[in-house]
Structure 1
Amino acid sequence: MAGPSEIDTNGPQVQSESRYLIRQPRALQWFENGRLVKRRDEERQSGRFELFLDLLYIAILSNFADTLTEDISGAKLAKYILILAPSWHVWSDLREVMNSFYNDDLLQRVLILWIMALMVVYGNNAPLVDEDIGAMRSAVGSYMAARLSLTAMHIYNSFASYQHRPQLRLWAGLSVVTLAVYIPLYFESVSMRSKVATTAVAVVLEQIAWVFCYSPAAKKLLRVKYSTAVDIPHEADRFAAFYIIALGEFLYLIIVGNHAAIGLNERLLRAIWTLIIAFCLNWLYVHADGSVDSAHPLRHNIYTAFGFAIVHLPLIASLLAGGHVAAASVEEEDFEDAQRWLLCGGLGVGMLCLYAFALMHGSKDESGALCVEKPVRLIMRPITGIIVILLPLAHHLGATSILSIIMALFVLCTVWESVSSLKSGAHFWEPWTETDYPDHCHRDDLMEDGKTAAA
């Protein structure tokens, strides 16, 4: 996942001119003795069917957040994290398949449909796992079926393409082992406390297994000449798409139900503040570290590459929860204590994750190139995050006051970074030039008008 030392884009074509319902999976990019080789030199974006999958995740994540906010407690928060993480792992596995072997054939499209069907089962049953053993078995069964299906696709691809073969098979083997940890969840005799601990261990082991399989340590252990590489534009695009899904939670409830009607009222004010908070979060994600010349975390080094992927789960989980409470405030008169902590904790932790996200970018700007150096430019993110997290300690503040303060802090942070990221000597307003038609065009128009009049 680290940046290549050399790039060769003169590899074979991705597919032949002939059309097949099922095409041979071919690695789109790989490392060969430390040299990055790509089949084609063009920027990839999310495919149409990948975006279709994202539509389902909008509903799944909204359902999980809604379940959490119905009865906020420590146990519910733990359940929220433990049912969200597996859904993230399924999405991440499918992202890996499409990043390395995207050929948009019948098999891949059916795979996406099959995974979506399993996630419909998971999304409906996961919020009920602590209430019914049938829901627990359905959620775990659908999750394991989805992961095993994607593992089978990895094995299938490993036979068709040698470039990723050793690591794909290592990943498949470790995936099966980590999935076996979930087996005790099927048994009614196992206590809920034990099931929670088992799930937490399984989630952590899955993350460790993924990092290990694609790390330099695994490559060294396997002694591979050919190893995995990612299409960085596609990878960044997919993570950004999932981030947008989380921000959608801020916007859905401020419209649905018409709770901000009629006319100008305090509910409408909270709806607008929620919109501005989400807009600033999107701005800061796109702004990254504000450098003119910056290396994306996926290109910077191996540690930032893995960190970039890992930080997205707590980032999305926190913003999803905080955004749901912020949007739900349009319907309610005031916040309960638990809602205050979930709102401020979610948004505050999200801002701290955005700070870590920005630090992972490698700035290549010379000293003094921008108005303010990177550490000072980004300092408002942790300050804002900490203040927002501690905001519930001010018990006298109502819902509108809390959202107003959060909105003001987020706007201040966004404005500070936008201004401090300008190049040294920058001006506020760029002078307008070339607003008049060129002289020769004006003469030609007059001559044409004259001929038309004479005719």
Structure 2
Amino acid sequence: MSEALGIDEHDLKAQNPRFLLRQPKALQWFEHGRLVKRHDCERQAGRFELFLDLLYVAILSNFADALAEDISGAKLVKYILVLAPSWHVWSDIRELMNSFYNDDLLQRLLILWLMAVLVVYGNNAPMVDEDIGAMRAAVGSYMVARITCNLAHLVFSFADYHHRRQQRLWVGLSTICLCIYIPLYFEDVPVRGKIAAAAVAVSLEEITWIFCYCPAAKKLLRVKYSTAVDVPHEIDRFAAFYIIVLGEFLYLIVKGSNAAIGLNERLLRAVWTLVIAFCLNWLYTHADGSMESTHPLRHNVYTGFSFAVLHLPLIASLLAGGHVAAASVAEEDFEDPQRWLLCEGLGVGMVCLYVFALIHGSQDEPGTLFMTKHVRLILRPITALITILLPLAHHLNATEILSIIMAMYVACLVWETVGSLKKGACFFEHWRETDYPEEVPQVSESKGNDLATP
């Protein structure tokens, strides 16, 4: 149940002058299990949040480039271990802006500072296995970014009491997790030891985040007021990051004009890559296809955490697969490592999209749509399995592989779209009221001796 405090945006601006530094106040919280919102208005991503996303376009592209240059098991592990921390910083900023966004000078400078630190991280992270200086710069910049976000949480906990206990628990535990990265600074520590330390740290950070904001932590802390999220803003931010990843499919199919001149096989691969990205965007937006559906963030705590955590493997897999698909425009054919990275990336991404659709709660009555939910979604795991196994067909060239994947994705999309139609629905809506309405003549009234005008 949601309750607003009755302050609309106009009244808020009238009551508060333009302060350079505003008091950070929680925008929503749970009070005795009841959701309370400070302002009864729908939030969208701020302009400076979207500006931050522009930097992630370059960072993610740099990570995918580094992986595609030398595809191997070790490089794949490095790719995951450098991508996950950048995702954690983005998530930290998302959490802060979701709960305490007031767009004052301090928050704008906070975003600028974090972006500057991310520039250091994005430049050095792809070379952590080549130079100890790059390793130290990447780990150091990441720790600075996380500590900055932790300090912001700590300061905000003094300014507002609604999230105080959970914020301070998060600050303490996440700071301890950062200490696990310290062995990465030392040149004497073997590479395997550094990989193990980074993997443990990344995993513990995920677990710590879930624990600090789950019902168990609320019971442990015996809180009267606890954290809550602005669901439309969260959905908007996750969707924005997903779009950034799909941009990796599109950038390289035009950059360098590799598909020129005229109609050729490279142009066909570019168009197929575009169609695959379009289908992935449609499937994400389509979710489970229900007419009435409860979003995972609104369904229950388990689906809410699953929705957030699922995005990391989703973006990691599609970013890698999409980069290879787009890069094929400049290549004559795939080598075996490229074939496997393309197919495994897109296949795992489709598995994630299948789980993503399953955790949406359908509220439709049985028999409302052409197909039941599980029948509608059945092509997603089938498509994923075929895509994952496709590299075993060694006789297929790059164009044939992309053609098969594109055809399966389109078939999956058409199947779900038709299956989501309401029973008795028509494919075409009759056009009505297409003519201009008849004009009713206006009669002018004359007063006294005045002349009536036509």
* TM-score range relative to shorter protein: over 0.9
> What's 1:407 paired with?
406
Question: Per-residue CA shift, 1:161-198, capped at 9, x if unaligned?
Answer: 00000000000001110000000000001001100010
Question: Per-residue CA shift, 1:102-131, capped at 9, x if unaligned?
Answer: 000010000000000000000000000001
Q: Distance in 2 between matches of 1:141 and 1:199?
A: 13
Q: Distance in 2 between matches of 1:132 and 1:186?
A: 11
User: 1:284, 1:354 within 8 Å by CA — same for their partners in 2?
Assistant: yes
SS of match in other structure, 1:264: coil
Letter paired with 1:265: N
TM norm structure 1: 0.95
CA drift at 1:444: 4.0
> What's 1:261 paired with?
260
CA drift at 1:19: 1.2
Letter paired with 2:122: G
TM norm structure 2: 0.96
> What's 2:127 paired with?
128
In the alignment, structure 1 residue 18 sits paired with structure 2 residue 17: yes
Letter paired with 2:275: I
User: Structure 1 stretches of 5 or more lacking a match?
Assistant: 1-5, 448-453
Change in Cα spacing, 1:140 to 1:11, as seen in structure 2 (3 Å) is farther
Letter paired with 2:349: G
Q: Distance in 1 between matches of 2:217 and 2:437?
A: 63
> What's 1:79 paired with?
78
Q: Distance in 2 between matches of 1:444 and 1:123?
A: 68
Q: Distance in 2 between matches of 1:96 and 1:17?
A: 24
Q: Distance in 2 between matches of 1:40 and 1:150?
A: 24
In the alignment, structure 1 residue 9 sits paired with structure 2 residue 4: yes
Letter paired with 2:176: V
SS of match in other structure, 2:329: coil
> What's 1:433 paired with?
432
CA drift at 1:11: 5.3
In the alignment, structure 1 residue 109 sits paired with structure 2 residue 102: no
> What's 1:69 paired with?
68
Question: Per-residue CA shift, 1:37-64, capped at 9, x if unaligned?
Answer: 0011211111000000000000000000
The alignment of Structure 1 onto Structure 2 pairs a total of residues equal to 441
Q: Distance in 1 between matches of 2:2 and 2:187?
A: 54
CA drift at 1:224: 0.3
CA drift at 1:373: 0.4
> What's 1:139 paired with?
138
Q: Distance in 1 between matches of 2:130 and 2:267?
A: 36
Structure 1 segments of 4+ aligned residues over 3 angstroms from their partners: 11-16
SS of match in other structure, 1:257: helix
Change in Cα spacing, 1:200 to 1:11, as seen in structure 2 (3 Å) is farther
In the alignment, structure 1 residue 338 sits paired with structure 2 residue 337: yes
User: 2:321, 2:345 within 8 Å by CA — same for their partners in 1?
Assistant: yes
Q: RMSD of the alignment, in Å?
A: 1.4
Letter paired with 1:194: G
Moved more, 325-334 or 427-436: 427-436
Question: Per-residue CA shift, 1:363-387, capped at 9, x if unaligned?
Answer: 0000001110000001111010010
Question: Per-residue CA shift, 1:297-335, capped at 9, x if unaligned?
Answer: 000110000000000000000000000000000000000
Question: Per-residue CA shift, 1:345-374, capped at 9, x if unaligned?
Answer: 000000000000001100000000111000
User: 1:11, 1:37 within 8 Å by CA — same for their partners in 2?
Assistant: no
CA drift at 1:438: 2.4
> What's 2:277 paired with?
278
> What's 1:419 paired with?
418
User: 1:8, 1:37 within 8 Å by CA — same for their partners in 2?
Assistant: yes
User: Structure 2 stretches of 5 or more lacking a match?
Assistant: 445-452
> What's 2:220 paired with?
221
Q: Higher relative contact order at CA 8 Å, sep ≥6: structure 1 or structure 2?
A: 1
Letter paired with 1:126: A
